[in-house]
Structure 1
Amino acid sequence: MTDQTAIPVRFMRGGTSRGPFFLASDLPPDREGMSRVLLAVMGSPDARQINGIGGATTLTSKVAIISLAKPGEAQQVDYLFAQVSVDTAVVDFGPTCGNMLSGIGPFAIETGLVPAEAGETKVRIRAVNTGALVEAVVQTPGGRVTYAGETAIAGVPGTAAPIVLNFADAVGGATGRLMPTGKPMDMIEGVAVTCLDVAMPVVIARAADFGKTGRESAKELDADRDFMARIEVVRRAASLAMGMGDAAGKVMPKFAMLAAPASPDGTIAARYFTPLACHEAMAVTGGICIGSACVLPGTVAGGLARIKGGAREMVVIEHPTGSMEAVITTGTDADGAMTIEGGGTLRTARLLMAGEVYVP
């Protein structure tokens, strides 16, 4: 006998993040009860998360909760994301995570929520936090998930099987609008910014306007406390302008800054913030939003992004540890203005462990 509760779990890497993946039915149904359990699972609040399975960084203190969708809905499974604070007793259900999203398809297949098909299996996923509908294409030769492959993504050692993520209705998930302020560019706290809501609401600025090159490492940017304080002021003011309220203590909207690409194969150089630290790579949802800024006219990406033009644009985003590709599909709205019809990217995932996690 034990005085702890055992909860079934699969511990997975999804893209450049990792964490526990749970069936919703194995957790408390209410957010308050769920939060208490997740804090205990991850070992928060504690800078080391020594009493849990968290990795003591924002990228490794993430949780995915999966459930079967109701009959008749467009999706097959629902994906609820939880960002567990490392050093405070806070669980944020506001944003989603596109990297963890890459593990949802394999999880759904291996747990029997979605039947595997020969060759590859398409899993329709609703990101509960933002409402986005995503199709994940998972490699399933012989009707079984395979993790081995030749696809490499920046920020992850080695190679793995590719997982294609296609965002079907990525626009306006958090605010209801492509451009929440109604304009492609605004002056916020004396800085030119573009506020977009595509897969993730992001406040986007030019690195040069903060005295940066846009090619700094994540550690260099995190160490500049004056800079970090300045972008937080801009982010919070932009959040109000976007109709998202006071962003103090919240992770949405995110913040990103742009510069011209360094590589001849790059489209844009970007640094993405989570928001109180610079992402060591690039978030999937953030990358799709940044890619959208690159193809839309009148944004802060104008004059920086190297765009070929066309209804389907491959955007190569340079980040601190390499680059990420995002495919942005454009169209026109009823007034003839360019709009975003969809975005996609390529990720990998790996099952690291399966078993039970114990909580008091």
Structure 2
Amino acid sequence: MSHPPQIKIPATYMRGGTSKGVFFRLQDLPEAAQVPGAARDALLLRVIGSPDPYGKQIDGMGGATSSTSKAVILSRSSKPDHDVDYLFGQVSIDKAFVDWSGNCGNLSAAVGPFAISNGLVNASRALENGAQNGMATVRIWQVNIGKTIIAHVPITNGAVQETGDFELDGVTFPAAEVQLEFMDPAAEEEGAGGSMFPTGNLIDDLEVPGVGTLKATMINAGIPTIFVNADAIGYTGTELQDAINSDTKALTMFETIRAHGALRMGLIKHIDEAGKRQHTPKVAFVAKPTDYVSSSGKPVEEGDIDLLVRALSMGKLHHAMMGTAAVAIGTAAAIPGTLVNLAAGGGAHNVPKAAVRFGHPSGTLRVGAEATQVNGEWSVSKAIMSRSARVLMEGWVRVPGDAF
């Protein structure tokens, strides 16, 4: 019996923010995988090592968490006034499924550096007056959600600078800071009418069978997100991963909240469709600030944060915070009357929060948003935050020739 040889595909393994993923140039993919469809999905599943019933992704590049089971495909942009098209795939760990329904805000930080280093963007064009040192501006078209991201990438001697002293909670070592602007972040989700608040309300009563009726802020910004109050579901907002991820009953509860929230937001038409849309929406719970100890053992003091937020990704509590969820947090905090704004101290005086620092399991993160209200409708022109990115390995990935 003959077996096909492995093929090799140019790829780069990168960290972006608190996530890792395998990055490809579209032109380097096998021809069958250069277009959306079954062949592309099968290829990425095999690269990452899914589906894996053991949940470890030993035979692939994935790291057995939602933060490390990711793939990115980049190409020169076909969109006017943009440099690069960025397509993100969230690869399921235990199922033969790639979710293309949303963005990864953390890996967004690596898109600009990769694009410059791999010839998709000319660094001297991105720098003013062809300088060799400075901040390159990369205009990214996020294909999944049809939105613009502006990345400000440090350049030294004409090359991307990756080392630096910018520290990001959830990442062990410092690196160079990459500033990101998520332009007009309200997601134009199918069924949501392009509205930031698809139900038309800042707070809804969300009926969840087996859980009860929860106050919820459901927002499309950065990524569709359902916010609930921590105390309404029996938590304090100081929880770390083990407190939830080892609790099967809790995970089932969160998935039920997610499914019914997705239905209420118009993201799915029937509750059974939620399982085919694992990446979105996200579920997060918020609370007023209090002291706690992060997963690294670092104390986080009440006075250093505006609120507490914990969020789930792909069915598990995230070890830090998804970048897109941080955009949702910043956006919701900027709009008086949302649960996020109220937890951050907006209170009865309807005070908008132009920027907040929130506590997450690994530490803290600051995010800002510019919100305005016109004729009773809220809009956000951009959300801003800083991440870092670094190449971990570059060369080729190998997969069996019959894998796709």
TM class by shorter chain equals: over 0.9
Residue 107 (structure 2) aligns with:
100
Within the candidate set 332, 350, 357, 2:373 is matched to 332
1:41 alignment partner, one of 47, 53, 66? 47
What does residue 297 of structure 2 align with?
A: none
SS in 1 for 2:237: coil
Work out the CA distance in 1 between the residues paired with 2:239 and 2:379.
31
* Residue aligning to 2:117: 110
In structure 1, the residue matched to 2:130 is: none
Note closer, same or farther for the CA distance 1:222–1:266 as it changes in structure 2 (3 Å cut): same
Secondary structure at the residue paired with 1:102?
helix
Q: Name 1:320's counterpart in structure 2.
A: 361
CA distance in 2, matches of 1:48, 1:304: 37
Does the Cα contact within 8 Å between 1:312 and 1:330 map onto a contact in 2?
no
1:14-53 equivalent positions in 2, closer than 5 A: 14-27=16-29, 28=33, 29-46=35-52, 47-53=55-61
Partner AA of 1:248 in structure 2: G
Distance in 2 (alpha carbons) for counterparts of 1:235 and 1:348: 30
Question: What is aligned with 1:158?
Answer: 173
Instruction: Indicate which of 228, 253, 277 corresponds to 2:316.
Output: 277
Q: CA deviation at 1:266?
A: 0.8
Indicate conservation of the 8 Å contact 1:160/1:349, yes or no. Answer: yes
CA distance in 2, matches of 1:329, 1:298: 16
Q: Contact (CA 8 Å) 1:173, 1:200: kept in 2 or not?
A: no
1:252 aligns with 2:280: yes
Residue 238 of structure 1 is matched in structure 2 by: 261
Return the letter of the residue paired with 1:183: N
Given that 1:315 and 1:328 are in contact with CA atoms closer than 8 Å, whether structure 2 keeps it comes out as: no
CA deviation map 1:230-288 (0-9, x unaligned): 22212211111111113223221110000012221211100011141000000111011
Q: Which residue is equivalent to 2:296?
A: none
* Structure 1 residues not aligned, in runs of 5+: none
Q: What is the percentage of aligned positions where both structures have the same residue?
A: 36
* Mapped contact 1:311–1:329 kept (Cα < 8 A): no
- 1:229 aligned residue: 252
Query: Contact conserved, 2:334 with 2:355, CA < 8 A, in 1?
Result: no
Show CA shifts across 1:12-70 (max 9, x none): 10111112100112221232111111111111111221221111211111111101112
Which segments of 5 or more consecutive residues in structure 2 lack a partner in the other structure? 128-132, 208-212, 291-301
Classify 1:114/1:312 alpha carbon distance in 2 versus 1 (closer, same or farther; 3 Å): farther
Contact 1:295 1:307 (8 Å CA) reproduced: no
Which position in structure 2 is the counterpart of 1:179?
197
The answer (yes or no) to whether the contact 1:173–1:199 under 8 Å persists in 2 is no
Q: Residue 80 of structure 1 corresponds to which residue in structure 2?
A: 87
Q: 1:123 to 1:41 in 2, by over 3 A?
A: same
Which residue does 1:358 correspond to in 2?
398
RMSD of aligned Cα (Å): 1.7
Contact 2:72–2:86 under 8 Å retained in 1 = yes
Structure-1 residue corresponding to 2:238:
215
1:13 is aligned to 15
Q: Write the distance in 1 (CA, Å) between the matches of 2:373 and 2:313.
A: 31
Alignment match, 2:5:
3
Tell me if structure 1 keeps the 8 A contact 2:74–2:87: yes
For 2:12, give the aligned amino acid: R
What is the rounded CA distance, in whole Å, between the counterparts of 1:35 and 1:303 in structure 2?
41
Separation in 1 of the partners of 2:205 and 2:314?
A: 20
Q: Which amino acid aligns with 2:368?
A: V
- The match for 1:292 is 331
User: Structure 1 residues 95 and 338 mapped into 2: Cα distance closer, same or farther (>3 Å)?
Assistant: closer
Partner deviation per Cα, 1:208-240 (whole Å, 9 max, x = no partner): 000100101011111222222222212211111
Report the structure number with the largest CA radius of gyration: 2
Contact 1:292 1:340 in 2 (8 A): yes
Distance 1:270 1:311, change over 3 A: closer
Cα distance in 2 between the residues matched to 1:33 and 1:305: 46
Q: Secondary structure at the match of 1:286?
A: helix
Distance 1:222 1:115 in 2: 43
Q: What letter corresponds to residue 179 of structure 1 in structure 2? A: F
1:206 pairs with 2:232 = no
| Paired AA for residue 230 in structure 2 | A
- TM-score, scaled relative to structure 2: 0.85
Q: Read off the aligned partner of 1:182 and give its amino acid letter.
A: G
Deviates more, 1:280-289 or 1:218-227: 218-227
Give the deviation of 1:159 after TM superposition.
Answer: 0.7
Structure 2 Cα separation of the partners of residues 299 and 127 of structure 1: 27
What does the per-residue CA deviation read over 1:106-131, in whole Å, with 9 as the maximum and x for residues that have no partner?
00000111111331101011111111
Q: Is the 8 A contact 1:11 1:352 kept in 2?
A: yes
CA distance in 2, matches of 1:310, 1:352: 43
1-side partners of 2:328 and 2:157: how far apart? 36
Q: Does 1:193 align with 2:199?
A: no
CA distance in 2, matches of 1:319, 1:112: 36
Change in 2 beyond 3 A, CA 1:125/1:236:
same
Taking a change above 3 Å as real, the CA distance of residues 337 and 42 of structure 1, as seen in their structure-2 partners, is closer
Residue type of the alignment partner of 2:141: R
Give the number of equivalent residue pairs: 357
